[in-house]
Amino acid sequence: MLFTNGFIEKLANRAPESVALVEKNGATVTCGQLYTESLRLAAHLQQNGAQRRQRAVIAAEPSADFVRIIYAAMLLDWEIAIIDPDMGREHFNAKLDQFDPHWAFIDYRLLLLQEHPVLRWLYFLKNPNGIYLPMRKGLRMVGVGTWLPIVRRHLNLQKMRETPVDIPPFTPTDLDLPFLITYTSGTLAAPKGVVHSLASLSESIKILTNILSPEPKAEQENAPQRLATHLPHYLLIGVNAEITIYLWDNKAAPSGKLAFIQKNSITTLFNPPCDYLPLMQEVTKNKAETSEKPTFIGEHLRHVLFGSAPVHAAFLGKIEPLLPPDCRLTALYGMTENLLVTMADGREKMQRQDAGDWLGYPLPNVRLQIADDAEVLLNSPQLFLGYYKMPLRETWHATGDSGKLNADGSLTLIGRKKDMIIRRHFNIYPALYEPTINKIKGVVDAAMVGVFNEKAQDEKVFLIIEKEENHPLKIADVEKQMTQGRLAIDKEALPDVILFKKLPRKGRQNKIDKVRLRTELI
C-alpha cells in the first residue's frame, strides 16, 4: 500500500513490536498498533463522509490518540488545527471561527458540556473563563478519551480504531499543501495561524532526529532512548525519530518527576529552562539532606535540550553539575514559523564571552541574513507557508529578533525588535492584551513588559496601569476581570505583577516608552 508522504512509511517500516510511546497510565502502544489503528481510523472516517482537503480541529489531551488523529489526517489529506484551549474563550472561539472546521476531535468532557446545560452552568460557575465548543452547523464531532454518557450520538474514536474495517487505497498526499495550522497567541486583529506543510515538518523532524541520535557508546550498550514529555507534537517527532516517548504529568511535584525519570530510565529531556528549575531545586535539597533520594536530575540522562525560551550561560553553569558527567547539553533557537534555526553546545556556550545571547550555529539548510536595522532574517526548507488566510510570506522571514552574525558563522542575539515577551514556552504579545485591559473601567492606559528574572530563569511579566485620578479601581478588580467574563485574557498571559503608576511617554505621538518603563522596573 503506497502512501508516499514519508511519515506513514516511516511508521510502517518500524518493527511492529517496538514501543512507540507509553501513556500516562503506563500502557504501552507499539508501532504495529499505532499503524494499524491509524489506518482503521482513517477508513472509518472516510466511511462516515470524510473527504479530501477537509479541515479538522483537535481539542484533546496529549495521548496516543493524538498521534492516530494526525496520521489519519495525513491519509485523508486534511488540514489540521491545534488550538490551545487555555488561550481564553473569546480568542479560542475567534480562531475556531476563522478556521471553520468540518471535523472536531473533542475530549468527551467537553462534549458533555454541549449536551447538558445544567452541567455547563455549573462548570462556568466554577471556571468563568472555561472553554466550551458550541454546536456548529455542519461540524462532525468525534469523541476522544474516556467515554461519558451523552444525549446526542457522536462518533467514538476508540471504537473506530479498534473495529476491523477494509482499508481503502488512500490517494498519495501533496507534501507542499497546507497540513498543520498552529495558532500563536500573538495577533493584533485577525487570529494568526502558522501554516506548515508535510514537507516543512518533515525537514524539521529530520534535523531533530539527527540532533537526538544516540552516541555510538549508547548504541553499543543497546540502551534505547526514552524521552519524557507532555507536549503533543513530540509524540509525532518521537515516532519518526524512533525514540520511545513517555508521557508524564507536567503539573506533578518535582519529587514525582524525579522519581518518574529514575523509574523509567529516561535518557532525554527537552524543555524551556524554567521547567528544569524545580527539578534542580529538589536535587539540591536532596544533596543537602544527604538522603537516599536522587542526587542527579536523572542518572540515565544522556542528553538534555533547552528550547522555546532563551537559556543563559549562568543557568547552564548551575544545571551542569546536577547532570551525569557525560550528559550532552544542547540549546536550540527556533520559532513556530521555523522550528529549528540554530544549535549551541551548552558547554561551549558557557565559555563564550559574546556581548549578547550566543545562539550557536545555523542548522542544515538554514540561511541567515542581518537586515540594515539588525533584524535577523532567515530562509530554509523548514519555513512555514504563511499565516492562515493571509498573504503568502516573503522569501526571507523577518524573525522580529535583532542579532549579528559572527566571523565563525554563528549567531548572537542582541535584542528583540518586536514587542514580545517569552515566558516558559509561551509567546506573549502585549499588543494583543493591552486593548482588552484598557476596557476595564477606570483604566486610562496599560502596558505589559517583560523583565528577565535570573532566579527563575524566565521573564517576569509586569502589567503597569495608569488609572483615572481618584478612581476606586483596585488591583484585585483588575485581576478578577482579567480572569473572568468578557475581558478575560489568555491564562498563560496573566501578569506576575500589577502596578498602578503614571506611564512614561515619548515622541510627538506621545507613545508609551517601554524601554524606559522596563529600565524603571529593573
Which range, 138-147, 285-294, 370-379, is most confident?
A: 370-379
- Residues near 385 by Cβ (< 8 Å), separated by ≥ 6? 178, 195, 196, 197, 200, 392, 393
Average pLDDT over residues 48-77: 93
Looking up cell 555510538, which residue turns up? Answer: 216
For the cut 60, the answer to whether the pLDDT of residue 86 exceeds it is: no
For the cut 70, the answer to whether the pLDDT of residue 496 exceeds it is: yes
**SS3 sequence, 60-81?**
CCCCHHHHHHHHHHHHHCCEEE
Task: State how far the alpha carbon of 252 is from the alpha carbons of 103, 279, 313, 414, in Å.
Answer: 33, 11, 27, 35
140 C-beta neighbours (distance < 10 Å), count: 18
For the cut 70, the answer to whether the pLDDT of residue 213 exceeds it is: yes
With contact defined as beta carbons under 8 Å apart, do 446 and 493 qualify? no
Average pLDDT, the chain: 86
**pLDDT tens digits for 293-336?**
667 899 999 999 998 767 878 789 889 999 999 899 999 999 98
Q: Identify the structural domains of the chain with CATH numbers, from first to last.
A: 7-173 (3.40.50.980), 200-416 (3.40.50.12780), 427-521 (3.30.300.30)
Q: Which of 148-152, 190-194, 347-351, 467-471 has the lowest mean pLDDT?
A: 148-152
Looking at per-residue confidence, does 272 or 386 come out higher? 386
C-alpha cell at 82: 491545534
Average pLDDT over residues 378-385: 97
For the cut 80, the answer to whether the pLDDT of residue 413 exceeds it is: yes
- 391 band by pLDDT with thresholds 50, 70 and 90: confident
- 185 band by pLDDT with thresholds 50, 70 and 90: low
> End-to-end CA distance of the chain, in Å?
61
For the cut 80, the answer to whether the pLDDT of residue 284 exceeds it is: yes
Residue 508 has what pLDDT?
47
Looking at per-residue confidence, does 140 or 122 come out higher? 140
Share of the chain above pLDDT 90, in %: 47
Task: State how far the alpha carbon of 88 is from the alpha carbons of 56, 91, 409, in Å.
Answer: 20, 6, 41
For the cut 60, the answer to whether the pLDDT of residue 186 exceeds it is: no
Distance CA 307, CA 234 (A): 13
Please name the helix (run of DSSP H) or strand (run of DSSP E) that holds residue 19, with its range, or none: strand 19-22
Task: State how far the alpha carbon of 400 is from the alpha carbons of 177, 499, 504, 516, in Å.
Answer: 26, 28, 24, 20
Helix (H, G, I), strand (E, B) or coil at 511: strand
CA-atom Rg of the chain in angstroms: 24
With contact defined as beta carbons under 8 Å apart, do 244 and 264 qualify? no
**pLDDT tens digits for 92-138?**
777 888 899 999 998 887 777 767 778 777 777 777 666 666 677 88
C-alpha cell at 55: 479541515
Average pLDDT over residues 406-433: 82
